């Protein structure tokens, strides 16, 4: 995100996709945050809510009534999701000089995990216990990473809707959290693909039981040789596929099912080498 102060009285926002094409624009009044004009009213309303939340945390933010030109550029297909909203929250928080998680909780019901990830160059473990939040950077480079793949499910799930479903339907939340925490700790220390597949299968089973949902492997990929874990909101965005068969099998399998976006772990996960390669 690039921000430039101008002599204009409004905020002019333009968003570009990975190919440099403009996919959203808005002109927003800094005086009352009303939308002067926009290409997408729903997205403009979210942006207005984000800016208002930032001002509530820092009254000096945008207080000089000068204008701004703001440009955002995606580094992946805009249909993928991949935490683009939480990354935007983090970037606006940096601009407004406010705590990103406080801004998140001002405008959303989510756990805040994605926002914490947006501000970290390392993998993290994240814990939300009532009002207490803690997250810790960890090292995670499994020796079987060449057997792990991120697969786009050809649809983007609304995180807000998924959160509403969770809040309404989750049963015995404390028991679920205890089980999932233990599984997560085992995943971090796991050294074999066979054990990893067993652990993510168990993780899916626990969530399914407590949410009255069926794991996506059972509904869509029952003949896949390996394990599949839903990511983010269940039912959309990406899944993590783990198979002892490797990349050729994974790409052929999912392509045969109509899922052509299969990204190897090493290409998807942030690293300094990957970051330098994209500059």
208-223: b (≥16 Cβ within 10 Å) or e: bebbebebbbeeebee
The DSSP string of 215-271 is -HHHHH-TT-SSEEEE-SSTTSSEEEEE-TT-HHHHHHHHHHTT---EEEHHHHS--
Q: Assess whether pLDDT exceeds 90 at residue 10.
A: yes
How would residue 165 be classed by pLDDT, with cut points 50, 70 and 90?
low
Share of the chain above pLDDT 70, in %: 88
Measure the CA–CA gap between 217 and 226, rounded to whole angstroms.
10
User: In the prediction, which pLDDT does 239 show?
Assistant: 94
Determine the CATH number of domain 141-272. Answer: 3.30.70.890
Q: Assess whether pLDDT exceeds 80 at residue 273.
A: no
Look up the pTM and report it.
0.86
User: In the prediction, which pLDDT does 275 show?
Assistant: 45
pLDDT digits (tens, 9 = 90+) for 109-132: 788 899 999 999 899 999 887 778
User: In the prediction, which pLDDT does 160 show?
Assistant: 57
Q: Assess whether pLDDT exceeds 80 at residue 249.
A: yes
Q: What is the mean pLDDT of the segment spanning 199-213?
A: 89
Q: Would you kindly state where each structural domain of the chain is located, as residue ranges?
A: 2-118, 141-272
Measure the CA–CA gap between 145 and 133, rounded to whole angstroms.
29
């Amino acid at each position: 995100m690039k921000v430039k102060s101008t002599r204009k009285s409004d905020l002019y926002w333009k968003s570009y996709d990975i190919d440099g094409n403009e996919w959203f624009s808005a002109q927003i009044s800094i005086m009352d945050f009303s939308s002067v004009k926009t290409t997408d009213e729903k997205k403009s309303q979210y942006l207005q809510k984000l800016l208002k939340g930032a001002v509530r945390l820092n009254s000096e933010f945008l207080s000089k009534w000068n204008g701004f030109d703001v440009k955002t550029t995606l580094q992946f297909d805009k249909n993928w999701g991949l935490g683009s909203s939480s990354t935007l929250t983090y970037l606006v928080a940096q601009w407004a000089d406010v705590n990103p998680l406080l801004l998140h909780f001002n405008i959303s019901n989510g756990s805040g995990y994605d926002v914490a990830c947006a501000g970290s160059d390392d993998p993290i473990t994240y814990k939300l216990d009532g009002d207490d939040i803690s997250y810790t950077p960890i090292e995670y480079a499994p020796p079987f990473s060449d057997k792990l793949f991120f697969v786009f499910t050809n649809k983007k799930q609304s995180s807000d809707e998924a959160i509403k479903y969770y809040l309404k339907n989750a049963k015995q939340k404390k028991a679920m959290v205890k089980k999932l925490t233990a599984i997560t700790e085992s995943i971090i220390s796991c050294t074999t693909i066979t054990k990893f597949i067993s652990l993510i299968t168990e993780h899916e089973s626990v969530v399914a039981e407590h949410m009255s949902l069926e794991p996506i492997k059972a509904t869509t990929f029952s003949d896949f040789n390996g394990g599949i874990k839903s990511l983010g909101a269940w039912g959309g965005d990406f899944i993590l596929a783990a198979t002892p068969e490797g990349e050729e099998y994974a790409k052929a399998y999912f392509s045969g099912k109509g899922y052509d976006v299969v990204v190897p772990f090493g290409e998807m996960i942030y690293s300094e080498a990957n970051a330098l390669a994209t500059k």
